[in-house]
Amino acid sequence: MKAPDLELGLRCEDAEVRIGAKALLSRATVRLAPGRVTAILGPNGAGKSTLLSVLSGQREPTAGRALLDGRPLRAHGMPALALRRALMPQESAVAFDFSARDVVALGRYPHRLAPAPDEDAIVAAAMALTDVSALAPRVLNTLSGGEKARVHMARVLAQLWHPRADGAARWLLLDEPTAALDLAHQHAAMRLLRGWAGQGVGVVVVLHDLNLARRYADEVVVLGVPDIPGGLCQGPTAEVLAPPLIEAVWRMPCQSVVGADGIEQYLFG
Amino acid sequence: MSQRFPPRAVLAGCALLLAFALALGAVSGAYAISLPQLWKVLASLGQGAAADKSPEYLVFVNIRLPRLVLGVAAGAGLGMAGTLMQGLFRNPLADPGLVGISSGAALAAGVTIVLGAWFMPVLPRTLGSWTLVVMAFGGGLSVTLLIYALSRSEGGTRMALMLLAGIAVNALAGAGLGFLSVMATDEQLRSLQFWLLGSLGGARWSAVILVGVAVLLSCVAAASLAAPLNAIALGESQAALLGVDVERIKRRAIVVTAVAVGAVTATTGIIGFVGLIAPHWVRMVAGPDHRAVLPASALLGAALVLVSDTVARTAMAPAELPLGVLTAFIGVPMFLLMLRHFRGRI
């Protein structure tokens, strides 16, 4: 019998997800500490969303394990988990004509048994953060893709709004939150996530834009790296995300330039 | 932009509509009771006075009241169950019949009516006039369980699978009924047809109380499903991430629906459209929050069934029209009008 593992943080060890003979994720080991922005990167089909669903407790790995603060995610219980971990999905059709405000308010569902004194204010403030206050009365399904994404981001922010009374870290997982956003909203969203990480929230975000990752992520997890067991590479963004690795993973010529503001950017092709 | 009415206003409106339908149903019929007479009857009911033996008292207590109560129970059960099924399937086309309750009950009723004397000479003797009710209820329940079992995969229930299994089993039951109608005598055919189109004509206090209790308990159980169903509108996996035990909610919703609609259908036959239409009407004016839609659909369903039944027994008196024909005649045109008015919101 092993001693209880009390390491704080979110991690998975040798996590594998198989459906039949097909491996959606193979032997992934990732350790995440709260208070940082971690970007999950990789080509299509590398298992980014699967890794996120394992880390959220939504999917149980078929082999290996996923732990939050040393306990298997599922052992926390889904209702308790919902109080400190939110996942923004990639696609999100909502049945019936719920308004944008209704959808954000659903983020408060886990707190319905012990509501905060300012439930309505939380919903309004979360909508203001992602710039969707003006859309509040609109029916969600009539909004554009980018507007929907911002409404759902407000929903997951509302879900984790207040720090936990027990001091446990909150975890915000997002699957390509910037994919449908315009340039200004992409950067606004990433700055917002950085701000939340600054308050001690663990932010894990799947991205396709390497420049966004380079600029805003403390750490990256790259999937689909050739010639590495498990194909997974984790480390500080500036160290890991170098042009040779990018060329090996995405098979695109890549060079890095430093702009006038001193920020490194990648050029492709 | 949606100009919705607040849930309280919608609930009050539906309650008012039901009160009106109750009053209308109480005064009209083969023996007309005037409003002052009705007031007197209600007063003597309240005093528990057994002395009142006026004809209007006897008609009201023995004939009209059980029918009104059955109508309320049937409409409320169907409206509530329709809301549950549409919420669970995340599909505005779903109705209680979809999970096999109606077709199972219909097939069992058909078998009892046409072949009962053949196959089960013992059953009618032991169950008496309850045979049809018990058989229909059992039929509805077993087909629902069959469809539920067929749609389970990898430890979960796949709703799309359930929908398809429901359609397939419903079609099979339809074929069975078609076969039975060929074998039936003229008299059996009439009673089969009447059963398939629904009627509150079988309202006796013993049956009414049974259905009333079943529907009441179902409505109480359904109340706790409203908030989780809102979360399920985001999708089952998102609801699970919000801490909803999706499988448990599904099981409960299906059991509640099967009990309420099974009890109603076994007593009244198949009353169509109420479960489909009532939730839509409410959503159009109140928005989709199940905490409002669930109780308001129950009230509206009850009102719709009562008005339809009142027309059914007065329009061509002394002949009685089938209730299912009336709920469709009254409900569907009004529904289509509202669809036109609110088409931007569906």
Chain segment A128-168, per-residue pLDDT in tens: 999 999 999 999 989 999 999 999 999 999 999 999 988 89
- Which of A58, A83, A96 faces B240 most closely, judged by CB atoms? A58
Instruction: For residue A78, give the chain B residue with the closest CA.
Output: B243
Chain A and chain B share a number of CB contacts under 8 A equal to 78
Confidence of residue B1 (pLDDT cuts 50, 70, 90): very low
CATH superfamily of B7-17+74-345: ABC transporter involved in vitamin B12 uptake, BtuC (1.10.3470.10)
Confidence of residue B157 (pLDDT cuts 50, 70, 90): low
Answer whether A109 sits within 8 Å of B287, measured CB to CB: no
Answer whether A106 sits within 8 Å of B231, measured CB to CB: yes
**Least confident span in A9-13, B162-166, B180-184:** B162-166
Residue keyed to tokens 């709260």: A34
Pick B34 or A64 by higher pLDDT.
A64
Pick B302 or B185 by higher pLDDT.
B302
Residues B249 and A72: their CA atoms lie apart, in Å, by: 24
Is the CB of A99 inside 8 Å of chain B's CB atoms?
A: yes
**Least confident span in A118-122, A196-200, B28-32, B212-216:** B28-32
Distance from CA of A242 to the nearest CA of B (A): 35
Interface test with B, best of A96, A99, A152, A173 (most B CBs within 10 A): A96
pLDDT string in tens for chain A (269-residue length): 444 455 789 999 999 999 888 888 888 999 999 999 999 999 998 999 999 999 999 999 999 999 999 999 989 999 999 999 999 998 778 888 899 999 999 999 999 999 999 999 999 999 999 999 999 999 998 999 999 999 999 999 999 999 998 889 999 999 999 999 999 999 999 999 999 999 999 999 999 999 999 999 999 999 999 888 778 999 999 999 999 999 999 999 999 999 888 888 999 98
Distance from CA of A217 to the nearest CA of B (A): 25
Confidence of residue B248 (pLDDT cuts 50, 70, 90): very high
The whole-chain average pLDDT of chain B stands at 84
3-state secondary structure chain A: CCCCCCCCCEEEEEEEEEECCEEEEEEEEEEECCCCEEEEECCCCCCHHHHHHHHHCCCCCCEEEEEECCEEHHHHCHHHHHCCEEEECCCCCCCCCCEHHHHHHHCCHHHCCCCCCCHHHHHHHHHHHCCCHHHCCCEHHHCCHHHHHHHHHHHHHHHCCCCCCCCCCCEEEEECCCCCCCHHHHHHHHHHHHHHHHCCCEEEEECCCHHHHHHHCCEEEEECCCCCHHHEEEEEHHHHCCHHHHHHHHCCCEEEEECCCCCEEEEEC
**What's residue A20's pLDDT?**
82
User: pTM higher than 0.95 for the full model?
Assistant: no
Interface test with A, best of B5, B224, B234 (most A CBs within 10 A): B234
Residue B48: pLDDT above 70? no
- Which of A78, A96, A109 faces B288 most closely, judged by CB atoms? A96
**What's residue A111's pLDDT?**
94
Show which of residues 134-163 on chain A sit within 8 Å of chain B, judged by CB atoms: 137-139, 159
pLDDT in tens, B105-148: 888 888 888 877 666 656 555 556 677 778 888 888 888 888 87
Cβ contacts of B75 within 8 Å, gap of 6 or more = B274, B278, B298, B300, B301, B302, B303, B304, B305, B306
Q: Is A148 left (phi over 0), alpha (psi -120 to 50) or beta?
A: alpha
Distance from CA of A84 to the nearest CA of B (A): 10
Pick B199 or B71 by higher pLDDT.
B71
**What's residue A1's pLDDT?**
45
Residue B315: pLDDT above 50? yes
Distance from CA of A158 to the nearest CA of B (A): 12
- Which of A79, A95, A102 faces B243 most closely, judged by CB atoms? A79
Residues B333 and A168: their CA atoms lie apart, in Å, by: 57
**Least confident span in A14-18, B46-50, B170-174:** B46-50
Pick A22 or B17 by higher pLDDT.
B17
Residues of chain B contacting residue A94, judged by C-beta atoms under 8 Å apart: 233-235
Answer whether B1 sits within 8 Å of A159, measured CB to CB: no
What percentage of chain B reaches a pLDDT higher than 90?
A: 29
Show which of residues 102-131 on chain A sit within 8 Å of chain B, judged by CB atoms: 102-103, 106-107, 109-110, 112
**What's residue B58's pLDDT?**
81
- Which of A96, A109, A138 faces B283 most closely, judged by CB atoms? A96
Instruction: For residue A156, give the chain B residue with the closest CA.
Output: B242
**What's residue B197's pLDDT?**
86
pLDDT in tens, B93-116: 777 877 778 888 888 888 888 877
